Structure 1
Amino acid sequence: MSATQAEQVAGMLKALADPTRLRLLSHITAQGCQEVCACNLTDELGITQPTVSHHMKKLVDAGLVTREQRGKWAHYSIIPAAFDQLRTLLDLS
């Protein structure tokens, strides 16, 4: 693994090392990894919009999800290739 790859993976793992972010990702994956509106994340998880925005920005910056602005609300989607990369790294078999 190159130094650049190690930095990238470390950023992903750091972003995942937060209970709120794990809950957000879990909710998105429960929707079949389809696009999810930020408006649905606040009510479903009982957290405020600023908290959702903060944590989702960390996940976007880590390259784990994408963000698309539509009017007032942001919509988030999982980046499957990022999780494939993590899965490959963590596969110890």
Structure 2
Amino acid sequence: MAPDACCEPAGMPSLDAYEAQFRASVFKALADPNRLRLLSIVKGAEAGEACVCDLTEPLDLGQPTVSHHLKILVDAGLLHREKRGTWAYYSMVPGALERTAGLLESL
């Protein structure tokens, strides 16, 4: 170690760039209050799924905005989308919340 250095280098980061980007996208998806509300509604739905047509009124948002938020949650691996006729139904991806909680634990 050089005489004027304050400490040893910490070493290589434990996350590679791809894994860090993936984790950040999940946290970014969760960082919006409307998306958290959508997750809560879908998770609490009686049938374990919710139609996009039932998600606009509780949030007082238009269908295009709700669909945008849902797409982000699907892309983050939190929700599953199933198209039935003209409607899309959303359900929680099994284990997604547990995996999400583990993203910080495994840093």
Q: Note the aligned Cα RMSD (angstroms).
A: 2.1
Answering whether residue 91 of structure 2 is matched by residue 77 of structure 1, we say yes
Match of 2:23 in 1: 9
1:52 has 2:66 as partner: yes
CA pair 7-33 structure 1, distance change in 2 beyond 3 A: farther
TM-score of the two chains, using structure 2 as the length reference: 0.73
| 1:26 equivalent in alignment to 2:23 | no
Partner SS for 2:41? helix
Contact 1:38/1:75, CA 8 A, preserved across alignment: yes
Q: Could you say which structure has the higher helix fraction?
A: 1
Q: What are the ranges of 5 or more consecutive residues in structure 2 without an aligned counterpart?
A: 1-14
Aligned length: 92
Provide the identity percentage: 51
Flag the 1:87–1:32 CA change in 2: closer, same or farther, 3 A: farther
Change (3 A) 1:33 1:16: farther
Question: Which segments of 5 or more consecutive residues in structure 1 lack a partner in the other structure?
Answer: none
- Structure 1 pair 6–81 and aligned structure 2 pair: CA distance change class (3 A): farther
What amino acid does structure 2 have at the position aligned with 1:67? R
